[in-house]
Chains A and B, each alone.
Chain A
Amino acid sequence: DADVTQTPRNRITKTGKRIMLECSQTKGHDRMYWYRQDPGLGLRLIYYSFDVKDINKGEISDGYSVSRQAQAKFSLSLESAIPNQTALYFCATSPGSGGWETQYFGPGTRLLVL
């Protein structure tokens, strides 16, 4: 079983709809992250959480919100989707031991907003 799972893997939605992407992990890591990948721009951080009560904005948080329901779950919401939110979204985790950390990524969710 994968350590970091994302649901759904693919989603098509319409402009203005609310959508939630979910991430679960079995690695026991404290820290979780949401990124989006766009061609030519690499991965950009949307939000991150260092523990259940901690939420932090990343580089591009506008238009997104997150919820850390439990140590193992971190969901990303688009309250009113727009076409330029069409992208590949990745969830990642890291141990939370502090200092330099390696992040471990889920398989991604491909989102198309029409």
Chain B
Amino acid sequence: DQQVKQNSPSLSVQEGRISILNCDYTNSMFDYFLWYKKYPAEGPTFLISISSIKDKNEDGRFTVFLNKSAKHLSLHIVPSQPGDSAVYFCAASEKDNDMRFGAGTRLTVKP
């Protein structure tokens, strides 16, 4: 029973354009959401997070949006760069409880 779902296994965008990665969750008790980025042969690295008391969090080119009523969050990357090509995992947790991950979306940014 996957509580966190990333329905797009892959996404391809042109350099300079916006990348939008989507994530849906089913557990209404989740109150903290994160995005991780993973390059081949490396572990996932933390990218950006948002708590349920916010609907937007921004860090440079990366913005995460949370829609609690729809149980949906998205990661926007603007502008996209070739170095952003990686697998992106969405994750969610309740405070002090274990974290659940989505299956990941492979982003390819073409020069």
Contacts and interface: CB of A to CB of B under 8 A. Distances in A.
Interface of A: 4, 33, 35, 40-45, 48, 58-59, 90, 92, 98-108
B103 interface: yes
- Which 9 A-B pairs rank lowest in CB-CB distance, beginning with the nearest? A105-B43, A100-B32, A43-B101, A42-B103, A42-B101, A105-B44, A102-B46, A107-B43, A106-B43
Nearest to B4: A42
A41 B41 CA distance: 18
B40 to A, nearest CB: 10
9 contacts: A33-B98, A44-B101, A45-B98, A90-B43, A99-B95, A99-B96, A102-B49, A103-B99, A105-B44
A4 B44 CA distance: 12
Interface of B: 2, 4, 6, 9, 31-32, 34, 36, 41-46, 49, 51, 89, 91, 93, 95-96, 98-104
A90 B32 CA distance: 21
B7 to A, nearest CB: 12
Contacts of A106: 43
Contact of B89 (A43, A92, A98, A99): A43
Contact of B42 (A35, A102, A108): A108
Contacts of B41: 107-108
Given A45-B100, A98-B95, A100-B93, 6 more contacts: A42-B102, A58-B98, A99-B95, A101-B93, A103-B46, A105-B45
Contact of A59 (B9, B96, B98): B98
Contacts of A107: 41-43
B42 to A, nearest CB: 6
A33 to B, nearest CB: 8
Contacts of B49: 100, 102
A4 B98 contact: no
